[in-house]
Structure 1
Amino acid sequence: MTDPWSEIAEGWAELWGGFAEPAQRAVAQATGIGPGTAVLDVGCGSGEFLAYAHRLGARAAGADPAPGMVALARKTAPHAEVRTGDAEHLPWPDDSFDVVTAFNAIQFAEDPEAAITELRRVGRQVAIAGWAERARNDFTVIEDALEGEPRPDGGHRDSLEDLMRAAGLEVTGHGIVEVVWHARDDDTLVRGVLLGGDADADADATTVLEAARPYKTDSGGYRLVNAFRYAIGR
């Protein structure tokens, strides 16, 4: 049976693969990734950060639990060592990496604290990043419209830092980065928002388009400004 992330891997790479790039660049700078740095990206998705780390001169490796994502990452970053594995069970020995990163991935772990403990096991420096609190994200308006009511908040800096401390890490840095999602037209917007969904497609598409109207550009596309928080620990 195909897992859900493998089923949507191609579409996710097309519509969301480069979305976290500003946060990835900020983390790379803050952790000192450069020539010779051994980097592991956990939940590497379609491999965009692996390719970026390689361009910086790092020795990149990636892990993702979805075989479909692993296959894409190997194409995107052919110089990287990409293995199938989840954040709580990484297939590398202790202290294998200088930096271990996880972008928009830890929240999918069954036990986020255990996942960060595992990141700490294989790496000497750990950086995690994900969506900031909902008030900072234009995407929240669309999510709430689809849900029919506001969803609980999340993504606060303190939650990232608390998870790190609980995993035995000393927090050495944190920040917030603007990440903008662009959709070139109505169809791209709807496909990106409803990716992998199996609800009433026509009704959901109408809801998405109505909710996103304030973010429509003069060219007919959409520009949604969001934010990622990141925290770094040793």
Structure 2
Amino acid sequence: MTTTPSTTTHQPAGHRWRTAGDAWGHAAVDWSCLFEHYAVGVIQVALDRLGVGPGSRLLDIACGSGLAARMAEVAGAEVAGIDASERLISVARARCPDADLRTGTMFELPWDDQGFDAVTSINGIWGGCEAALAEAHRVLRPGGRILVSFWGRGHLDLRPCFKVFAAHSPDAHREGMRRTNDIARAGVAESMLEASGFEVLERGSRMSTVEWPDADTAWRAVSSVGPAVPALQHAGADVLRPLVMEVLERTRDEHGIFRFRNDQEYVVAQRPR
């Protein structure tokens, strides 16, 4: 597959993809081992709805440490992926040595037009990221399908955790979080996809679940997410940890397991033939 990058789309004003990559990669090992598997349910939906199997060419946008790529490879697909974090891509390459995995921006994909049968973005494309959808449309073949997922508006154990992070972050970061989460509002994701030339086929949801055996593991997992970084830099772990663990205590069951459950919504769309 050739690698001519797009020259027609650009990242949104104010978006610094390298900064985002540094944030999401700050605890890459903890993220990859303790948190990323929250998405198994919606990845399974994606592989089914997009018809991923032997002979399929799949691109995973914001591929993180490669969980979706690995599952697609197991299904028989030829896989490529891109992420802003070099540390996460390093883990992904170790997991998926045969995949074409690159560090870069989803707003200028380094692949040619119509090179893929399917595109996934598992909680990677958010409000204000229309340019990324335009790039996804460009690299999909006619008739190819895309699935994008994001946190929904139902049950969210992460909401009180993220409120702690937001309350201890600079004002500019809180505004950015509001903008990105706008995609969860009814009809927003569909409108973004349609504006990029897609035909929307389906909207659905899965309850994501991730479990941790003890408080130390739970803190390492939750503090590995990118949105935690501004708060960690601004207030410090000594301030944040007791506040986050107070709200996480509500998720602990009678066995002492922290069971972190969140509404994960998705939209499936198709590039017209």
Do they superpose with TM above 0.5?
A: yes
Q: How does 1:49-198 map to 2 (within 5 A)?
A: 49-107=68-126, 111-123=128-140, 124-133=144-153, 135-148=154-167, 154=182, 155-195=184-224, 196=229, 197-198=232-233
Aligned length: 231
Alpha-carbon displacement from aligned partner over 1:57-85 (angstroms, at most 9, x marks no partner): 11111111221122111111112111222
Of the structure 1 ranges 75-84 and 142-151, higher mean CA displacement relative to structure 2 is found in 142-151
Per the alignment, residue 33 of structure 2 pairs with 14
Q: Over the residues paired in the alignment, what is the CA RMSD in angstroms?
A: 2.2
Among all aligned residue pairs of Structure 1 and Structure 2, give the percentage whose two residues are the same amino acid: 29
Q: CA deviation at 1:19?
A: 1.4
Give the Å deviation of 1:211: 1.2
8 Å CA contact 2:212, 2:259 repeated in 1: yes
Alignment counterpart, residue 216 of structure 1, candidates 235, 246, 252: 252
Residue 48 of structure 2 aligns with which residue? 29
For structure 1, which runs of at least 5 residues remain unmatched after alignment?
Answer: none
Extract unaligned runs of 5+ from structure 2.
1-17, 169-173
**What's the secondary structure of 2:203's corresponding residue?**
strand
Deviations, residues 13-40 of structure 1 (Å, cap 9, x unaligned): 1221211111110111111111111100
Q: Is the CA contact (8 Å cut-off) linking 1:39 and 1:98 kept in structure 2?
A: yes
Contact 2:35-2:222 at 8 Å conserved across structures: no
1-side partners of 2:188 and 2:54: how far apart?
Answer: 32
C-alpha distance in 1 between matches for 2:130 and 2:81: 20
Is the partner of 2:107 in helix, strand or coil?
Answer: coil
The answer to whether the 8 Å contact 2:61/2:83 transfers is: yes
Aligned to 2:7: none
Distance 1:147 1:67 in 2: 25
**Match in the other structure for 1:229:** 265
- Answer whether contact 2:157 2:262 (CA < 8 A) is retained: yes
Q: Which amino acid aligns with 1:85?
A: G
Aligned CA distance change for structure 1 residues 6 and 142 (closer, same or farther; 3 Å) = closer
Shift of 1:91: 0.5
- Kindly indicate whether residue 69 of structure 2 is the aligned counterpart of residue 40 of structure 1: no
Measure how far apart 1:143 and its partner are.
2.3
Aligned-pair CA distance for 1:145: 4.2
Relative distance call for 1:157 and 1:180 in structure 2 (3 A) is farther
SS in 1 for 2:162: helix
1:189 and 1:50 mapped to 2: Cα distance? 25
